[in-house]
Amino acid sequence: VHFVGGALVGATPKPSYSAFLEDLSDAANLCIVATPVAGLTTGLDHNAAASEVMLRWCAALPTVHEALEVRERALSGSSSSSTAFSAADLPVIGVGHSLGAKLLVLLGSDSGMAENLGPRCANALVAYNSYSARQSIPMLEQASAAASAAQASGIGGAVAPGLSSLSNVGENLSAQASEGLRALGRTVGDGKLGGSIDAGLGALADGLGGLGLGLGSPGVGAGKGSAASSEQLASGLEGAAQALGSLGAQFGQVGRRASDRLSGEADLADDEFTPSPEETARIVSSRYAVGRNLLLRFSDDSIDQSPGLARLLKARFTDDVTGIGGRLDFKTLDGSHVTPNTPRVRSYLGTLDVGLAEQLGVADAARSLTRAEEEREATSEALGEFARREIARARQL
């Protein structure tokens, strides 16, 4: 499986999607390659972001193939490097979430990039989103509204330099915080703390986990001091550093755009993704070449555009003149746009005293978290079922 995540979270797929992807892997015995994509966070050019995904995928393949072939030899008990198994022959399924699904659509519509990627037996597009930039990035919409209000009040020119400085401060703070986490991670990973990974580091792990920058399973931290827990925490700190860097970049981008708008150098309202939603629809209608697809939407998702994409794909597959043939599955599951980003929570909530939770007023929140995890697991299972069917079909061809 080649996985591409959404805006911001797609830049750090390991901490952002680990539970979802691990469950998907288990559901159908899948090897999953999640390619980080910074372009969805730091820019509006989705063609460039798709190219980034392609390059990262191509760069990863030799290592992935080698690891799979080593694993196969170990399972078969053969020490010979010459074996009938070739990882390069395995069928590949694309799985994309939100704007990551849009990137898979663009990759499947560009013959040059598709050739570099290699054949795809199917794509699974989860919570597909191809809205405009201001609809997809709430901060951009808010910055535009703030800029308009400042201009209307006649203070736009005075506010612009402050916004520009603020964006720089946000980026610098993010860079400093992320580098601090990396330095701590290197110290932990080098074993310089020995067995003294104390309650302070445990609290850090828990706090970052609460921000969605999870540092692994419960137990990493206080009093663990083992090599395994040190490595796990160090790896998690690196992931958290990457996420903070991405967040700072997005704040900086939005701040600069608002500053340019106020100083008269740019019109924030004109900021738009490339290709635009309208151009993306034309590309799908005329060039999309992956013939088997699953569109999966969630019942509580206000920015999903799967129904519109389904209409485009149906026409693309069945048109009497230009139809390429294919199969389209469409499913609606319980959940929200961020269901694939739900972390593991049962292990944390399993020891929660229900009576105390009721007294503290957090029982409803705990139940909501548990339900969200169940929805995430159901999503992984639905994708696993689709993958099993498509892999079986691909192997018969």
User: pLDDT per residue over 17-44, tens digit each?
Assistant: 999 999 999 999 999 999 999 888 767 8
pLDDT, position 249: 54
pLDDT, position 216: 41
Of these ranges, 112-116, 236-240, 267-271, the one predicted with the greatest mean pLDDT is: 112-116
| Mean pLDDT score across all residues of the chain | 75
User: Region 324-338: what's the mean pLDDT?
Assistant: 93
User: Region 131-151: what's the mean pLDDT?
Assistant: 53
Name the token pair of 272.
């738009």
Q: For the segment 245-269, what is each residue's pLDDT rounded down to a tens digit?
A: 555 555 555 455 544 544 554 444 4
pLDDT, position 319: 79
pLDDT, position 230: 53
* Confidence tier at 184 by pLDDT (50, 70, 90): low
Percentage, residues of the chain above pLDDT 70: 58
Percentage, residues of the chain above pLDDT 90: 44
pLDDT-wise least confident of 45-49, 113-117, 271-275, 389-393: 271-275
